[in-house]
Amino acid sequence: MRYENHRVVEGVEEVLRIVKATGIRAVISHHKASGKPSLCWGLPKKTLAMIDKANEDGYDIFLDQYPYAASSTVMNCQLPTRLHSLGFEQLIKDFASKEKRADYKKEMLNGGTPEEFFFGVMIGASDSRPDLNGAMLLEAAKKENIDPFDLYFDLLMNDKMGTGTIHLWISEDDVKLIMRNPHTMIGTDGLMYPGCKNCHPRAIASFPRVLGHYVREEKVLTLVEAIRKMTGMPSMLYGLNGKGLLRVGMDADIVIFDADKIIDKANFENCFTKAEGVNYVMIAGNIVVKDANYLGGLYGKAMRIK
């Protein structure tokens, strides 16, 4: 979708226009309103009402969501759009220049303050400064007694523009509101890769977090609703035959967990901490996790959406 910030209503309006003009089914991925609280928080009340009305009118619109009040992307996303056209190699050279840094800082601030610009920005994964993974950028800059923009440019330059970042820009109330919507599925939007030093914990802990935090502790969903949003609903929507239900003839892909104990343990400082309460996992009838211990074995296969 085109917008997920203070213009999220425009983004949903555009999706609805396309759906109504074509009759296609739509899934709005990772639905949220991400940005300054005064501009963004609370907007999902309006977008969900629009989506519900379209579904009542006979259209077919679904959502998915990762269960966190924080998004994740790369740090260079905060650079002005025009700078991306210069290419990463040129930008890395520019970041070595005090004069260019001063020019870019002025353009990016646009009359604002560093505190406003870097509000909610966490350093997610830096190859050059792994000691800062999980630190808020403003706090890290203050601790090192440097301008936050200098830390920002240093990270981008030394990480060759690959610094991962986490943005604490989402309202927890909005997360819960979207999760309750009957057309919302649960996903991860997880990013992992060989050599990954750290990432958003959603890559590891999304489903245990829903079952432990949002079901058992917060009671946002019932256990049955949550499991359906993770299994049967996406399988039905994407035509994953043989998946999503416990039924004779279905693929034996099964997770057995303790509903009283399951909980996420991964966090923004360490995304690799294993969840608790996941006791058994079967893939195609093969036990790959027993008594919460991974036994090895790669039985999964790629699936094409039909």
pTM listed for this prediction: 0.90
Token code pair at residue 6: 């203070």
Six token digits for residue 42: 């609370």
Pick the residue with more confidence: 214 or 301?
A: 214
- For 255-285, what is each residue's pLDDT tens digit? 999 999 999 999 988 888 999 999 999 999 9
Q: What is the mean predicted confidence (pLDDT) over 103-115?
A: 95
- pLDDT of residue 149 exceeding 90, the answer is yes
Structure tokens at 8: 């999220």
152 contacts 112 by C-beta, under 8 angstroms: no
54: left (phi over 0), alpha (psi -120 to 50) or beta: alpha
The pLDDT of 230-251, averaged and rounded, is 94
- At 27-86, the pLDDT tens digits run 999 999 999 899 999 999 999 999 999 999 999 999 999 999 999 889 999 999 999 999
pLDDT at 22: 97
Burial 133-158 (b: 16+ CB within 10 A, else e): bbbbbbebbeeeeeebbebbbbbbbb
Residues 158-213: pLDDT tens digits? 999 999 999 999 999 999 999 999 999 999 998 777 777 778 999 999 999 999 99
